[in-house]
Amino acid sequence: MIESDPAVIGGWYVAFFNDERRHWWSPLCRDGFRHVAAFGVDAEAGVWLLYDVTLNRTILRALSAERLHAWVDALPANARIVHFETPRDPVATDLRVGFWCAPAIAHLVGVRSRALRPEALYRDLMAQGARPAFESKPV
């Protein structure tokens, strides 16, 4: 078994934005909160990791700082990005229902959340200490 240190990435940046694709559930989500993805730096490897759960696959990419900043710059103008510190000793979380963007990101970053939609995940992150990040991005 490979031992892993969950603290290798000490915190995650969580990006909330509108997905360009429209799905049947899009009207159920508030504008600016139709999708969520996360990214964090692995300082030991010297790369940024981008984690994105889409309808037909999960995307995990290792990016240079330059490519990561290009990805952030390409987000829609109304995107919100928050930084959430990974809990050192996370307690067992609530039962996760489903595997789409909001529950998957909640599980990745270790936040206690029952969120089914990105907007609810945003509220849970903020209530548990997340802070706005990349605020220089035009809104």
Confirm whether 137 is domain-assigned: no
Confirm whether 101 is domain-assigned: yes
Task: Report how far residue 122's alpha carbon sits from residue 130's, in angstroms, rounded to the nearest whole number.
Answer: 9
Task: Produce one character per residue of 122-135: b if its CB has 16 or more CB atoms within 10 Å, e if not.
Answer: bebbeeeebeebbe
Confirm whether 127 is domain-assigned: yes
Confirm whether 1 is domain-assigned: no
Domain ranges, residue 60: 6-132
**pLDDT band at residue 139 under the 50/70/90 scheme:** very low
Percent of the residues in the chain that have a pLDDT greater than 90, as a whole number: 49
Least confident of 46-55, 76-85, 90-99, 105-114: 90-99
Task: Report the number of distinct structural domains present in the chain.
Answer: 1
Tokens of 121: 């995940």
Per-residue confidence (pLDDT) for residue 84, from 0 to 100: 96
CB atoms within 10 A of CB 65: 11
Task: Specify the pTM.
Answer: 0.84
Q: Residue 129: pLDDT above 60?
A: yes
Per-residue confidence (pLDDT) for residue 9, from 0 to 100: 78
Confirm whether 138 is domain-assigned: no
